[in-house]
Amino acid sequence: MKLGRAALGLLLLAQSVVQAVEPISLGLALAGVLTGYIYPRLYCLFAECCGQKRSLSREALQKDLDNKLFGQHLAKKIILNAVFGFINNPKPKKPLTLSLHGWTGTGKNFVSKIIAENIYEGGLNSDYVHLFVATLHFPHASNITLYKDQLQLWIRGNVSACARSIFIFDEMDKMHAGLIDAIKPFLDYYDLVDGVSYQKAIFIFLSNAGAERITDVALDFWRSGKQREDIKLKDIEHALSVSVFNNKNSGFWHSSLIDRNLIDYFVPFLPLEYKHLKMCIRVEMQSRGYETNEDIVSRVAEEMTFFPKEERVFSDKGCKTVFTKLDYYYDD
């Protein structure tokens, strides 16, 4: 009956939503709700189905993180323990909420992709994984009230269709302040909100906000002669959350999600060093079927720019542009 009510609610509200650009196809979401409700067994024979259980392998998740994420010992540990623990908890008290912070190219998008792929075979293309990009889906500050209504509708409809839905919010540092607070009830410790349980859903926020604070800690360790692997979460997390909360240019500015402690983990992504860029390049070579050429690896890494200007410790673009640099060498 809950799915039937959710489907009816979507039908009644659909006409008011289609005028706006949708980050997910409301028609597909609606079809999924109705078909999964009326013909669940038949439907699951031909399409991905939320009811089809897929166990999460801790070993597989660990392997993906080790093979695809470099220089991020904190992020690896947090993501592995948080995601595996949450998925294997039959009765979580609230949705899993992760906020990933760091400079561009440090691995935030890779991590959200890895999480999606380890939970759903379709990964980011799964019907149960939903990506929102602030500048694309919520571009105009004048429409913030409309966006709030749409966001609540989209999340409610998709969680009604699949309790284990994953929502990824990219460019949180570019989101209009106050907008994300619309989903606060869904992240809180409620058994039900208007008849729908959100406790098995996963919310992931990606942001550059707080990157300066993360860099300050990493640079202090480097200047003190300490290993970056000695950095603990306690060295960064509190200062990071305060920095993001007070950042007027962030979608989390004075957000109730932070004020009410509804974000389970603020995950810092450290700025990458020269050796980490070389790791990225080698993996990309292998993924393209090339033999590892250390000369090209070094040449590509040396073309990247680093900061601070005097010490040149960290890459200012992370692994973001190494792929296009690699194209240049192989095109030659």
Binding-site residues for ATP sit at 102-109
Indicate the Cα dihedral angle 108, 111, 113, 118, nearest 10°. -170
Letter string b/e over residues 172-188, b meaning 16 or more CB atoms within 10 A of that residue's CB: bbbbbbbbbbbbeebbb
Binding residues: 102-109
Alpha carbon separation from 183 to 75, 154, 155, 203, 281 (Å, rounded) = 25, 11, 8, 10, 39
What letter would DSSP give residue 267? E
What does the block give as tokens for 228? 């970056």
Alpha carbon separation from 332 to 182, 279, 293, 326, 328 (Å, rounded) = 51, 22, 14, 10, 6
- For the chain, count helices (H), then strands (E): 15, 7
* First-residue to last-residue Cα distance in the chain: 62
DSSP 206-253: EE-TTHHHHHHHHHHHHHTT--GGG--GGGTHHHHHHHHHT-TTSTTT
